[in-house]
Amino acid sequence: MALIVENGTIVAGADSYVTRAEAIAFAANRGVTLADSTATDTICRKAAAYLESFRSQYKGEIVERDQPLAWPRDDVVIEGFTWASGEIPRQVVAAQLAVILEVAADIDPFNPPAAQGPITQKSVSGAVSVSYAAGSTGSIKVNKDREATALINLLLKKNGLSVKDVKIVNLEPQAAANAILAGNADVDAAMTYEPYLSGVRNAPEKGKIIATTLDYPMVMDTFGCTPKFLTDNPKAAQALANGYFDALAMIKSEPKKSFEIMGADVKQSGDAFEKSQSFLRWQDKAANQKFFAGEHAQFTKEAADLLLEVGIIKAIPDLSKLADTRFIK
């Protein structure tokens, strides 16, 4: 039976928000092959059915009483923009596509394994080595954005290896982590991030964290503005920096309230977020000043050399112009 795709007009019998072709193309762009067959239609239906399980939680109201799917809807505002009743928000389509990748990886979205952490290795009896032998064919699941690509190259290089020594497969962060915990035989290691990290700490029999960015500091959250914006809006830039440091001060002075606020943003309880954030480093103004006074130059030089080596950048830029420290003084 062919997919019946909802396009916003309340299609009778609709059972998906994406076509088979869209699912195949999305997966292919992420290194996953889906068959041009009814098997992919079944995957699409299961992903849509999972989205339907949240029907009562969606914003707005359904357009017609008997419409087959939760969308389209009336009175929906997402990220400040109003969606017309005849539209399917792109976020809904993106959500189904993300779930399709998980279903394709044999992960049941209705009963997912516990979330996983950054670099993981299947648990084995006896001692566990954190290094791979050169020339191994171990499969590492990585989301192939630039940050993940740079990090996996750094980790391998620091341990005397390169991407030529392993097989890199693209998979979304949560799906990659879940594949490890599900015992997927095709996955030897995975790269992902919080809030999934804490899951593996609570299930050591499923997998072992072998490295994080606390061991290899190279991933950081930053505020980036164009030089023109900083020139034209110095007060706004200063307010942004001040607001960030005020938030860090609140985390220190009112941790419980802060963790409740941040936890709600990632659908965690305050207690759960408190546990997962304990493995992060909150960089206050003093830490920022120290970093940009010395560590930044060494960090950017090492990172630039690596990015050039693996082809992410074509030339090393003027590293002295990468940061404007006026707003942290």
Domains of the chain: 20-104 (no CATH), 119-211 (3.40.190.10), 227-328 (no CATH)
User: What is the distance in angstroms between the CA of the first residue and the CA of the last residue of the chain?
Assistant: 64
Q: Inform me whether the pLDDT recorded for 127 exceeds 50.
A: no
pLDDT band with cut points at 50, 70 and 90 for residue 186: low
Average pLDDT over residues 108-113: 71
Q: Inform me whether the pLDDT recorded for 125 exceeds 50.
A: no
The pair of three-digit structure tokens given for residue 182, joined into one six-digit string: 């599900």
pLDDT band with cut points at 50, 70 and 90 for residue 325: confident
For tokens 């304990």, the residue is 278
Residue-level pLDDT at 143? 46
Average pLDDT over residues 93-120: 73
Residues of 123-139 as b/e, b for ≥16 C-beta within 10 angstroms? eeeeeeeeebeeeeeeb
For tokens 């060494």, the residue is 298
Alpha helices in the chain (DSSP H): 20-28, 38-52, 90-104, 146-158, 173-181, 197-201, 227-232, 234-253, 255-265, 270-277, 285-290, 296-309
Higher pLDDT pick, 175 / 38: 38
pLDDT band with cut points at 50, 70 and 90 for residue 112: low
Residue-level pLDDT at 8? 93
Residue-level pLDDT at 141? 46
Lowest mean pLDDT among 7-11, 139-143, 253-257, 307-311: 139-143
pLDDT tens per residue across span 140-185 = 545 444 566 777 777 787 778 877 777 777 766 666 777 777 776 6
- In this prediction the pTM is 0.45
Q: Which among 108, 279, 102 is positioned nearest to 198, based on CA atoms?
A: 279
Q: Inform me whether the pLDDT recorded for 36 exceeds 90.
A: yes
Residue-level pLDDT at 135? 42
190 vs 182: CA distance, rounded Å: 12
Distances 68 to 72, 73, 232 between C-alpha atoms, Å = 10, 12, 51
How much of the chain, in percent, has pLDDT values that exceed 90?
Answer: 26
- Please count the helices (runs of H) and the strands (runs of E) in the chain: 12, 9
Average pLDDT over residues 302-317: 81
Length of the chain in terms of residues written: 329
Give strand ranges (E) for 88-142. Answer: 119-122, 139-142
Residue-level pLDDT at 196? 67
Q: Inform me whether the pLDDT recorded for 323 exceeds 60.
A: yes
Higher pLDDT pick, 196 / 33: 33
Residue-level pLDDT at 306? 77
Residue-level pLDDT at 131? 36
Q: Inform me whether the pLDDT recorded for 215 exceeds 80.
A: no
Higher pLDDT pick, 31 / 37: 37
**DSSP codes, 203-233:** -TTTEEEEE-TTTS----------HHHHHH-
Higher pLDDT pick, 191 / 64: 64
pLDDT band with cut points at 50, 70 and 90 for residue 218: low
Contacts of 304 (CB under 8 A, 6+ apart): 313, 316, 317, 319
